[in-house]
A and B are shown apart, each in its own frame.
Chain A
Amino acid sequence: MATWLRNDEVRDLGILGLGFIGAACFVEILGLLGIDRSYTYHIAARIAIMALFGIAFNIAFGYCGILSFGHALLYGGGGYIVGILSVKMGVNNMLVTLPMAAIGGAALGAMLGLVTMRNVGMAVVLITFAVAHSVWLILQINPLGLTNGEGGLSGIGRHMSWSGGGANLWTTERSYYWLCAGIILGTCIALRLCVASRIGLAMRAVRDEPTRADTIGLNVKAVRALAFAISGAAAGIAGGLGAMLSGVVTPEDAHWLLSGDVLLFAVLGGAATFLGPALGACVVVLAEIYLGEITRSWPLLLGLIYVVVIRFAPGGVVGAYEDWRRGRKRDSKRLDTIRDDRVQR
């Protein structure tokens, strides 16, 4: 390991940090104009959480070439772990619940990785979908009385103290936004280092040339399972933060429509870059909240986004921008599940 932070890593993480600060400034300016700050901070936190979910998904999708259609299981799993610990067991300390969500997400991700071990491409899509949908159905019938069925768990607190007493700093939306920003930035630093390390190199090797990677001695199945687990850990954290943000976790947090959303984040933003899915998440969540209010037919717009992006910008927004900057045509060589073959360091 020569230098542990290269330029583009500093750039990505810097953009992310500046994004958090910029969003907060924007919210404060809106606040000065008389728009309720706690609502806008709530939305900002939701966007940040979805951005983390998108980045987490893209670790498996963009970097390792695994197209999972069951990532809502990992997000919802993190949320349910926090919810069950908080509501059913009285463990409200997020210093305990969030790491548990990360571990649970990693375990679920590793499970998906093991289940799909023998398959590639569309078969993985179908298996992950079927497994995640089965779990979603199981959540509906509420086994063991832990998940409260369709209504889900409500009243999830945001505490961070061992004694349980004392002032709770994180109940306001503004403080929780900054907490989320910190945790998400920390997670993203870890993920960015991970994809820049030899593990990340192995993932990209498995993505681009599975046969050759196998020949030079990489354990392809293990690398895929590892990518799933890393992705799952970050998705679990996102799910846990999301559950604490809204205070409730329902089966809809694990529904396959969310798996479709996160795939859209990555495809819209650009799966060949680290931050692309975060941009995609910003665009989709903002459009959902504000355009959805104006037109009242959000699914129509969502459908149009899908159709138009796939038709005209299969490399996503970031991919289209880079193509434009390099003056390159879109028809570069592509793999079956990957938008672009641009290897990124």
Chain B
Amino acid sequence: MTWAGLQITLLTGLATGLFLTLIAIGLSIVFGLQGVINFAHGTFYMLGAYSLVMLQSHVPYVGIAIVATIIIGGIGILFYGIFLINLKGRPHLDYLLTTFGAALIITEIVRWFAGSAPQFAQAPEFLSGVVQLGAIVFPRFYLVMIVVCAILMAIGWYVFQRTLLGARVRATVEDGEMAEAVGINALILNLSIFAAGAAVAGLAGVLAGPVFTIYPDMDLDIIVLVFAVVIFGGLGSLVGTLIGGIVIGMIQAFGTVLFNSTVAQIGVFILMAVTVIIRPQGLLGKRHF
């Protein structure tokens, strides 16, 4: 591998990793808060990508991004109210199965409206093309992805560590019963964090639209990778999720360049298995199981 090739692969890995982190963060925090293993989290990502397909001829890209984020946040609230609110106190398995069923239902509804055929979305004019970075050329859109993900991550970190909402979330992750005892409204907190996670995953879908093929089962394909990210980094940990995302993004990028994408995925899942065997809580997570 040449020096330029190495640089390109590193940047691709970083873009993939930050992008996976963006989807994974909602999943991770929601698990930390209430023990919900949300199989349908990839569905919000898929909805984001499809909103790009549906709206791209009518609305400018940035507009779609804003609208989709808000709408998918609302869908997240609905989702929580319909599927999860009644399962309070049930074992993890019940959440896993219910959200899996919910993912199948939503995917099928999307299939009714948009059809099964793979679709493609265009990157907007000002984001397409390539950039000259020293000796290498790199797609402009990947750079935008890196920047947007980094900004969102910084906002997430600020909210988490420096605001009252973040303090409440951290308290609930640490000890849910105690947090409720001191007057934190668990329902409103859970609902808002769930909606925020869904909205961010939807935004990731809008970002991914121009890069990947869009098809109804894309949620199941991404969710297994996202699971690998949060399992490796540690469920409920923000920094762990970031590390997990970047490590897995790098494995994807280098595995694809050196071998092929299937070998890269095998590497990801073997890493996931080894992580859980040796350290079930993940790199930086708290022990949940």
Are the CB atoms of B277 and A67 closer together than 8 Å?
no
Q: Which residues of B contact A123 (CB under 8 A)?
A: 276, 280, 289
Tell whether B112 is near chain A: CB-to-CB under 8 Å.
yes
A61's closest neighbor in chain B, by CB? B93
A134 x B273 contact (CB < 8 A)? yes
Query: Within the complex, what minimum Cβ distance (angstroms) separates A139 from chain B?
Result: 10
The answer for the CA separation of A115 and B272 in the assembled complex, in Å, is 13
Question: A126-B272, A137-B266, A141-B263 given as contacts; is B103 within 8 A of A67 (CB)?
Answer: no
Digit string of B70-111 for contact with A (CB within 8 Å is 1, else 0)?
000000000000010011001111101110111111011101
Once the chains bind, are A115 and B273 in contact (CB under 8 Å)?
A: yes
Which residue of B93, B265, B270, B272 has the most chain A CB atoms within 10 A of its CB atom? B93
B244 to chain A, nearest CB (A): 13
Binds B, one of A80-88, A174-182, A185-193, A306-314: A306-314
Give the residues from 244 to 278 in chain B that come closer than 8 angstroms, CB to CB, to chain A: 260, 262-263, 265-266, 269-270, 272-273, 276-277
A interface secondary structure, majority: helix
**Shortest beta-carbon distance, A70 to chain B, in Å?**
10
Measured in the bound complex, the distance between the Cα atoms of B282 and A123 in whole Å is 10
Measured between alpha carbons, how far is A334 from B112 in the docked complex, in Å? 39
Bound complex: CA A306 to CA B92 (Å): 14
Please state if B91 and A297 are interface contacts (CB–CB under 8 Å): no
- Please state if A303 and B87 are interface contacts (CB–CB under 8 Å): no
Q: A130-B269, A141-B262, A311-B86 are contacts. A118–B104 as well, Cβ < 8 Å?
A: no
Q: At the interface with chain A, which of B16-24, B177-185, B224-232?
A: B224-232
Answer yes or no: A305 CB below 8 A from chain B CBs.
Answer: yes
Q: A299-B104, A300-B104 are in contact. Are A126 and B231 (CB under 8 A)?
A: yes
B140 interfacial contact with A, CB 8 Å: no
Tell whether, in the assembled complex, residue B262 and residue A122 are in contact, meaning their CB atoms are under 8 Å apart: no
Report A4-38 CB contacts with B as 1/0, cut-off 8 Å: 00000000000000000000000000000000000
- Which residues of chain B have C-beta atoms less than 8 A from A137's C-beta? 262, 265-266, 269
B91 contacts A337, C-beta separation under 8 Å:
yes
Contacts of A256 in B (CB 8 A): 224
Range of interface residues on A (Cβ < 8 Å): 35 or more
Interface residues of A in 251-282 (CB under 8 A from B): 256, 260, 263-264, 267
A297 to B104, alpha carbons, bound, how many Å?
Answer: 10
A140 CB-CB contact with B under 8 Å = yes
Contact A311 B87 (CB under 8 A): yes
Interface residue from B96, B111, B273, B288 paired with A127 (Cβ < 8 Å): B273
| A299, B103: Cα distance in complex, Å | 10
How does the 8 Å CB contact mask read for A283-325 relative to B, with 1 for contact and 0 for none? 0000000000000010110111111001100100000000000
**Nearest chain-B residue to A257 (Cβ)?**
B220
Asked if B92 and A303 make an inter-chain contact with CB atoms under 8 angstroms apart, the answer reads: no
Expressed in whole angstroms, the minimum distance between the Cβ of A129 and any Cβ of chain B is 8
A92 in the interface (beta carbon within 8 A):
no
**Is A120 an interface residue, CB under 8 A from the partner?**
yes
> Residues 134-170 of chain A: 1 if any B CB is under 8 Å from the residue's CB, otherwise 0?
1001101100000000000000000000000000000
The residue in chain A whose Cβ has the minimal distance to the Cβ of B82 is: A307
Q: Does B214 contact A (CB under 8 A)?
A: no
Q: How far is the CA of A307 from the CA of B98 in the complex (A)?
A: 5
**Interface pair B273/A122, CB less than 8 Å apart:** no
Q: In the complex, which of the residues A129, A267, A307 contacts B83, with contact meaning CB atoms closer than 8 Å?
A: A307
- B37 in the interface, Cβ–Cβ < 8 Å? yes
CB–CB A122/B289 < 8 A: yes
For the complex, give the distance between the alpha carbons of A264 and B280 in Å: 25
**Chain A minimum-CB-distance residue to B267:** A134
Within 8 A of B (CB), among A66-86: 67
A131 at the interface (CB under 8 A from B): yes
Report whether A122 and B37 are in contact in the complex, using a CB–CB cutoff of 8 Å.
yes
Minimal beta-carbon separation of B143 from chain A (angstroms): 30
Q: A122-B92, A311-B86 are in contact. Are A302 and B101 (CB under 8 A)?
A: yes
Does chain B have a CB within 8 A of A42?
A: no
A116 at the interface (CB under 8 A from B): yes
Evaluate contact between B100 and A306: CB separation under 8 angstroms: yes
Query: Which chain B positions have C-beta within 8 A of A121?
Result: 92, 289
Q: Scoring A residues 43 to 82 as 1 if CB is less than 8 Å from chain B, else 0, what string do you get?
A: 0000000000000000000000001000000000000000
Are A337 and B93 in touch, CB under 8 angstroms? yes
Which of B228, B269, B276, B280 has the most chain A CB atoms closer than 10 A to its own CB? B276
A126/B108 in contact, CB under 8 A: no
Q: Which residues of B contact A197 (CB under 8 A)?
A: none
Residues of B within 8 A of A219 (CB): none
The interface of chain A, by Cβ under 8 A from chain B, is 67, 115-116, 118-123, 125-127, 129-131, 133-134, 137-138, 140-141, 256, 260, 263-264, 267, 297, 299-300, 302-307, 310-311, 314, 334-337
Offer 17 A-B interface pairs, CB within 8 angstroms, sorted by A.
Answer: A116-B277, A119-B280, A120-B289, A122-B92, A122-B288, A130-B269, A134-B273, A137-B262, A303-B101, A303-B102, A303-B108, A306-B104, A310-B97, A310-B98, A310-B101, A336-B91, A336-B92
Binding site for A on B (CB under 8 A): 37, 83, 86-87, 90-94, 96-98, 100-105, 107-109, 111-112, 224, 227-228, 231, 260, 262-263, 265-266, 269-270, 272-273, 276-277, 280, 288-289
With A126-B273, A314-B90 given, can you name 13 additional A-B contacts, CB distance below 8 Å? A122-B92, A122-B289, A125-B93, A127-B276, A134-B273, A138-B266, A141-B260, A267-B97, A297-B108, A299-B104, A299-B105, A304-B101, A307-B98
